[in-house]
Amino acid sequence: MSVTMHKNRKIILLCYTYNMKVDYKLCPKYEKVFKWLGKRWNGLILRCLLDQPMRFTELAGCLSTCSDKVLTERLKELEIEGLVEHISNRYQLTDLGHKLNHTIETIQDFANKNL
C-alpha cells in the first residue's frame, strides 16, 4: 500500500490487490469532512452561523426552503459532531466549527467566480 500526499496531508490511499489492480479509497478523515459539508443543508447552516449566533427562527429564515423538522435534525447532527452548540436559545459554531471558516469562504469565492 502507498499513500499519496498533498501538502503534507494524506488524501488518497492506494491499495494494491493481488492482481495489481489499484483500488482508490479516500482518507477516512477527508471523507468525514465531506460528509459534514455535503449533507443537504449542513454547509448552508454552517455558512449562516459563520457571522453570528442565531436563534432557530433566524436560521429558518435564512434557509426558507428547509423544513423546521429537517433543520432541527441537521442542527442536532452538527451538535453531535461538535461543530455547532446551542447556548441561551441561540445556535453558534464551536471552535471546531469556526475552523471550517476558510473552507466555507473558499467555496463561496469559487461560487462567486465560476457560477
> Which of 20 and 48 is assigned the larger pLDDT?
48
For the chain, which domains are there? 1-27 (no CATH), 39-114 (1.10.10.10)
Query: With bands split at pLDDT 50, 70 and 90, how would you rate the model's confidence at 22?
Result: low
pLDDT at 70: 97
Say what the pTM is: 0.73
Query: Concatenated DSSP letters for the chain?
Result: -EEEEETTEEEEEEEE-TT--EEEEE-HHHHHHHHHHHSTTHHHHHHHHTTS-B-HHHHHHHTTTS-HHHHHHHHHHHHHTTSEEEETTEEEE-HHHHTTHHHHHHHHHHHHHH-
